[in-house]
Amino acid sequence: MVQPLEKVDRRDAKLALAHLFVAFIALGLGGFAGLLQTLVRSGKFELPGGISYYTILTTHGVLLGLVLTTFFIIGFQFAAVSRTAGAFTDSTRRVGWIGFWLMTIGTAMSAFFILTGQAAVLYTFYAPLQAHAGFYIGLALVVVGSWVSGFAMFAHYARWRKAHRGQASPLLTFMSVTNMALWLICTLGVAATVVFQLIPWSLGLSERVNVLLSRTLFWYFGHPLVYFWLLPAYMVWYAVIPKVIGGKMFSDSLARLAFILFLLFSIPVGFHHQLLEPGISPFWKYVQVVLTFMVIIPSLMTAFSMFATFESYGRSQGAKGLFGWLRKLPWGDARFFAPFVGMLFFIPAGTGGIINASHQLNQVVHNTIWVTGHFHLTVATTVVLTFFGASYWLIPHLTGRVLTKAMNRLAIIQTIVWAVGMTFMSGSMHFAGLLGAPRRSAFSTYGNSPQALEWIPYQIAQAVGGTILFIGIILMLVIVINLAFFAPKGETEFPVAEAAAPQERVVLVFENWKLWIGIVVALILIAYTVPLIDIIQNAPPGSKGYKLW
């Protein structure tokens, strides 16, 4: 007998799809901005009509770093929670729509002020560069909207647990809730600086701003932000990929442990972005560097679990020898291939991260284009290729269509194009960075400085890579539009893997939120209390706003 496919409720599917559409529109526009940046930086091309490089750069960072990621993640998680913990109630779904509209209105507002040249402050908006108040208010709406959506997921999870006392929650729901808890705790920092410092200051209600406090609150948010991007990719790896290849999940409990470790250690680490700045004592910088290294452990666990899953599956199919199992993997299936390439790129990406977080090595690469190369591997390859790979089943599942053979082939080509383009772009960014080329800068030879002339070949390679990547974006948009509107009608599975040892009871302590949130708060207080008091008590006179673009 054929079991009917377990499906996301049709009304929840609409909510998830709305998020995905905004995400892919952001991909198209933000990707085009990225293409223009690499062309400008090659030195062979100038922007027409006096458009500023930094307006384009701000657009790129905000649309891809904040909008694409946040919308995709929340849409994906709505679908994952609905699929594994059952359809939302009408009122919870309505809360989800309120979150969506708040985020969308906020995005449109910030985009307006960026594109009209009133907010060329980049997506990190460091004070005392002062954007139009509307830019900050728009960003605040995006964050508040994401909280509202997070509360919808929390409420649904609480209802599930009430109805299933003594049971472990479905893995994907547990992971989504963990990620939203992480997000809620870390965005408190950026919300604090935006709402209490930057909005009153940009409206003229307060004259001066404490620059270092604002930066520190930003980076309290800025690093967990990257884990907020990464965890949904890990959800796909842990809970979806094993099913896609026809195997089992290595261990349900270890997956939960990894997520709890991310929740604990990804927040009190922001100082590793501030290693080279004045006003923070080197002792506290080192404390946070130690905590930064703790957060590598769950990634090591994840790497083991994934390859254990792949090898177990290969051997169950009769693979022989040390690496025979590699040949049994479904290389022709884009739902596997795209995330797998993403995993491979995480090896150099993670290594680069360890380099960046180490005091003395950071001194060599800080604010060079090496860092840009680094996060184009982590978020723009590992995370993004996993999101693309998830889209190949998620979008047709939600729209009631199927991925055709032709589209699957195009998706494989897309993945290869992306890998090649990124190898050129990110690779040359890493090399140019080691030679000292700064990030976030338009083309310049710094008065024909011999050092700057050395970077030019690498900058041309970045433009080649950027162009290839833009072709990759066009291919992706073709696939998304096909899956959303033109692919043949049919049933597509939302794959959810089973544990290899289902008889093993899932450890319930992972759902003891009072315990975990308590530890998170304690770690944050340990890492931040003394330095924050220092920053506030020993603050220099504050800064007025500057509009220097």
CB-based burial, 24-40: b 16+ in 10 Å, e otherwise: bbbbbbbbbbbbbbbbb
Compute the least distance from the CB of residue 281 to other proteins, in Å: 6
Q: Pick from 440, 493, 513, 517: which binds other proteins (CB under 8 A)?
A: 440
User: Does 238 engage in binding with other proteins (CB under 8 A)?
Assistant: no
Angle at 436 between CA 219 and CA 124, to 5 degrees: 25
Nearer to other proteins, 31 or 298 (CB): 298
Min CB(86)–other proteins separation in Å: 27
**Is residue 538 involved in binding other proteins (CB under 8 A)?**
yes
- Note whether 281 binds other proteins by CB under 8 A: yes
Decide: is 6 part of the binding site for other proteins (CB under 8 A).
no
Determine, following the binding rule CB under 8 A, whether residue 542 of this chain makes contact with other proteins: yes
Task: Looking at 449-512, list the stretches that DSSP marks H as alpha helix, in order from N- to C-terminal side.
Answer: 450-481
* CB nearer to other proteins: pick between 232 and 350: 350
d(CA 43, CA 48): 14
Which of the ranges 28-36, 78-86, 297-305, 480-488 carries the binding residues for other proteins, by CB under 8 A? 297-305
Find, among 472, 345, 373, the residue nearest to 416 by Cα: 472
# of chain residues touching other proteins (CB under 8 A):
74
Using CB under 8 A as the binding rule, the residues of this chain from 164 to 203 that contact other proteins are none
CB atoms within 10 A of CB 484: 18
- Nearest residue (CB) to other proteins, 354 versus 416: 354
Tokens, residue 74: 């929340």
Phi/psi at 213 (5° precision):
-65, -45
Cite the active site residues: 223, 227, 374-376, 439-440
List the Cα angle 173/175/180 in 5-degree steps: 95
- The full 3-state SS of 378-439, as one line of letters, equals HHHHHHHHHHHHHHHHHHHHHHCECCCHHHHHHHHHHHHHHHHHHHHHHHHHHHHHHCCCEC
Rounded to a whole number of angstroms, the minimum distance from the CB of residue 56 to other proteins is: 13
* Of 16 and 452, CB closest to other proteins: 452
Each residue 400-439 as x (binds other proteins by CB under 8 A) or -, in order, gives: -----------------------------------xxxxx
Contact call for residue 533 and other proteins (CB under 8 A): no
264 HSE (CA, 13 A, CB side): 21
Interface with other proteins in residues 349-388 (CB under 8 A): 354, 358-360, 362-364, 366-368
Q: How far is the CB of 255 from other proteins (least distance, A)?
A: 11
Give the residue from 377, 470, 472, 373 showing the smallest Cα distance to 418: 472
Assess contact for 73 and 23: CB atoms under 8 A: no
Task: Report the nearest approach of other proteins to the CB of residue 455 (Å).
Answer: 9
> Which CB atom, from 176 or from 309, has the smaller least distance to other proteins?
309
Query: Token match 């383009």: residue?
Result: 421
CB-based contact 135:110 (threshold 8 Å): yes
Nearest one of 256, 295, 258, 121 to 202, comparing CA atoms:
121
- Rounded distance between C-alpha atoms, residue 135 and residue 118, angstroms: 8
**CA-CA distance, 212 to 217, in Å (whole number)?**
9
Rule CB under 8 A: say whether 293 interacts with other proteins: yes
Based on the shown chain and the rule CB under 8 A, indicate whether residue 543 belongs to the binding site for other proteins. Answer: yes
User: SS3 for 375?
Assistant: helix
Please pick, from the candidates 285, 328, 335, 374, the single residue that binds other proteins as defined by CB under 8 A: 285
Q: CA-CA distance, 473 to 27, in Å (whole number)?
A: 7
**Rounded to an integer, what distance in angstroms lies between the CA atom of residue 183 and that of residue 180?**
5
* 462 touching other proteins, by CB under 8 A: no
Question: Given candidates 447, 489, 503, 514, which one binds other proteins under the rule CB under 8 A?
Answer: 447
530 binds other proteins (CB under 8 A): no
- Judged by beta carbon, residue 318 or residue 447, the one nearer other proteins is 447
- Residue of 28, 128, 246, 400 that binds other proteins (CB under 8 A): 128
Cβ of residue 50: shortest distance to other proteins, in angstroms? 11
* Whole-number Å distance between alpha carbons of 335 and 416: 14
Cα R_g (the chain), whole angstroms = 23
Among positions 503-522, residues that touch other proteins (CB under 8 A) are 504, 507
Q: In the window 12-31, what residues touch other proteins (CB under 8 A)?
A: none
Residue closer to other proteins, measured from CB, 158 or 344: 344
Q: Does 122 bind other proteins (CB under 8 A)?
A: yes
Closer by beta carbon to other proteins, 481 or else 501: 501
Q: Is 490 in the site for other proteins (CB under 8 A)?
A: no
CB 461 → other proteins: shortest distance, Å?
18
H helices present in 90-132, as ranges: 90-115
132 binds other proteins (CB under 8 A): no
- Distance of alpha carbon 82 from alpha carbon 6, whole angstroms: 10
Asked if 278 touches other proteins (CB under 8 A), the answer is yes
Taking CB under 8 A as the criterion, the residue among 451, 457, 521, 536 binding other proteins is 451
**For residue 286, how many other CB atoms are within 10 A of its CB?**
14
Which of residues 126 and 486 has its CB atom nearest to other proteins in the complex?
126
286 binds other proteins per the rule CB under 8 A? yes
> Which residues fall within 8 angstroms of residue 6, CB to CB, at 6 or more apart?
83, 494, 496
Minimum CB separation of residue 287 from other proteins in Å reads 11
What's the closest the beta carbon of residue 37 comes to other proteins, in angstroms? 12
C-beta separation of 189 from 240 below 8 A: no
Which parts of 213-232 interact with other proteins (CB under 8 A)?
Answer: 215
The smaller minimum CB distance to other proteins, of residues 317 and 367, is found at 367
Instruction: Report the nearest approach of other proteins to the CB of residue 405 (Å).
Output: 37
Asked whether position 116 contacts other proteins by CB under 8 A, the answer is no
Residue 202 contacts by C-beta under 8 Å, 6 or more apart in sequence? 130, 131, 132, 133, 135, 136, 545
* Contact between 252 and 239 (Cβ < 8 Å): no
**Which residues partner with 129 through β-bridges?**
546
